[in-house]
């Protein structure tokens, strides 16, 4: 049960301290702000009494349909969000999957280490670690294995029995790691758009996703044929003219292509058309990109708010070998995505080395990113043996046309996890829980409960 004193401390060692600093109630929801002190490096004996510690923040959400005492007796549902490098959702009312979940659970929304109110990872804070090599070494402790160790540590601090987990996108990757190395902490697992490949180089991920992003481009331009011309016009304009974002840097064609992030969703894809229609404005010197358009693009292509996403992105696929800028290398097999293509396609979530030259927020991390890309001795993120012997009920939504987590690779993983029930659907894209979170959550929970 969570402590009721806003400043009460639990735990007896440097690692293991737990504080609830504030509680609030508004618009049908109740929140509590939890701060946990955890080891930077979790040791096998789970003592956590030596070594450096960091803070991990989590916000508890429950429904005021339950009294405070009733809510404190509900089982926990841990939500692992997408990323890497994404903080937990900040919500102002219960809707979608959270509305469904709050009927039977109190929700723990984790700011994964390095994000949000957890000990932050930003260029300024990383300078405290020392040189690029020291910073890179520090960041090796910010992958799924460490996030899962934090979660399991927090579960024990809270005094919870095995809890339920919902993993979206990268959160699903983390859930597979949880199933691999700490299944004793899990009651049941729900995964949406997040069945990671269990083996193989990162290259196979990008070969699959480049293919799906190309198909999604074609689908989008079939809906909005005028936007095919608009994208090409903007690309050629940027080749010939210097256009600058409000943050001061020049907008390049390849960076403009990053707006393809819109293509990954049901709820966002049509908004791409509204963005493109704002592109040009007439000026005394001829057509230029409008300030309104440039500001919208800046918010899409800057990693100032989540630099960790870019710097550790490919490492989520690193297992025993270097990733070596896999997306950048695989791009050579897909010239239709190159900025100088006759009709360049929009890209997805791939991360390239030039990010660390063109995005001011990432320039200080260029050497760190290079060292992580070259790292050869990544630890395994999954245990195929444990997953093959899994006894935890698992259900996963697999989106047929997902451009971020490939359908075929997802089903390969589903077949390797004993008892995992895949629900394959073409009704949603990667942001399915944003489209019908209530229905998706209810369906997956029903699937895992039906096997008990």
- Which residues are the active-site residues? 169, 377, 430
d(CA 415, CA 45): 32
354 and 254 in contact (C-beta within 8 Å)? Answer: yes
Residue with tokens 């989106």: 399
Closest CA to 57 of 148, 126, 154: 154
Sorted by sequence, the CB contacts under 8 Å of residue 208 that are 6+ apart come out as 406, 408, 409
Could you tell me the sign of the dihedral formed by the alpha carbons of 421, 191, 177, 163, in that order? negative
Residue with tokens 């500001």: 295
Q: How far is CA 257 from the centre of its chain?
A: 20
ω into 84 cis (within 30 of 0):
yes
| Separation of first and last alpha carbons in the chain | 26
d(CA 404, CA 103): 31
User: DSSP 3-state assignment of 135?
Assistant: helix
Q: How far is CA 118 from the centre of its chain?
A: 15
194 and 168 in contact (C-beta within 8 Å)? Answer: yes
d(CA 355, CA 301): 9
CA distances from 32 to 7, 157, 183 (A): 11, 16, 27
ω into 39 cis (within 30 of 0):
no
Q: What is the DSSP letter of 50?
A: S
Could you tell me the sign of the dihedral formed by the alpha carbons of 222, 223, 229, 232, in that order? negative
At what angle are helices 225-240 and 202-223 packed, to 10 degrees? 120
């Amino acid at each position: 049960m969570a402590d009721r004193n806003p400043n009460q401390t639990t735990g007896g060692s440097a690692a293991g301290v737990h504080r609830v600093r504030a509680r609030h109630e508004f618009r049908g929801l109740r929140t509590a702000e939890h701060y946990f002190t955890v080891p930077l490096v979790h040791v096998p004996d789970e003592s956590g009494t030596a070594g450096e510690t960091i803070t991990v923040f989590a916000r508890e959400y429950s429904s005021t349909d339950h009294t405070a005492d009733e809510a404190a007796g509900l089982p926990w549902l841990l939500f692992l969000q997408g990323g890497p490098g994404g903080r937990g959702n900040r919500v102002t009312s219960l809707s979608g999957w959270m509305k469904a979940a709050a009927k039977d659970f109190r929700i723990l929304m984790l700011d994964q280490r390095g994000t949000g109110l957890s000990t932050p990872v930003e260029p300024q804070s990383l300078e405290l670690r020392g040189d690029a090599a020291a910073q890179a070494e520090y960041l090796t402790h910010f992958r799924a294995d460490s996030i899962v160790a934090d979660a399991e540590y927090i579960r024990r601090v809270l005094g919870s029995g095995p809890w339920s987990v919902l993993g979206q996108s990268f959160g699903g990757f983390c859930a597979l790691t949880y199933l691999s190395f700490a299944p004793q902490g899990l009651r049941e697992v729900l995964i949406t758009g997040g069945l990671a490949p269990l083996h193989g180089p990162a290259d196979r991920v990008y070969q699959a996703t480049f293919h799906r992003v190309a198909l999604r481009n074609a689908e989008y331009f079939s809906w909005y044929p005028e936007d095919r011309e608009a994208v090409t016009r903007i690309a050629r304009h940027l080749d010939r003219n210097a256009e600058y974002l409000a943050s001061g840097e020049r907008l390049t064609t390849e960076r403009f292509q990053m707006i393809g992030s819109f293509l990954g969703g049901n709820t966002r894809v049509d908004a791409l058309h509204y963005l493109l229609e704002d592109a040009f404005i007439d000026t005394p010197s001829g057509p230029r990109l409008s300030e309104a358009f440039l500001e919208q693009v800046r918010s899409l292509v800057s990693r100032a708010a989540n630099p960790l996403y870019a710097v550790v992105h490919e490492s989520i696929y690193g297992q025993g070998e270097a990733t070596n800028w896999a997306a950048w290398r695989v791009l050579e097999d897909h010239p239709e995505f190159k900025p100088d293509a006759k009709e360049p396609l929009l890209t997805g979530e791939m991360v390239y080395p030039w990010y660390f030259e063109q995005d001011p927020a990432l320039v200080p991390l260029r050497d760190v990113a290079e060292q992580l890309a070259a790292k050869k001795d990544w630890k395994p993120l999954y245990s195929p043996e444990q997953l093959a012997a899994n006894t935890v009920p698992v259900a996963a939504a697999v989106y047929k046309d997902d451009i971020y987590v490939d359908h075929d690779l997802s089903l390969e993983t589903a077949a390797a996890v004993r008892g995992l029930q895949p629900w394959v659907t073409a009704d949603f894209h990667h942001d399915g829980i944003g489209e019908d979170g209530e229905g998706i959550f209810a369906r997956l929970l029903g699937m895992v409960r039906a096997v008990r």
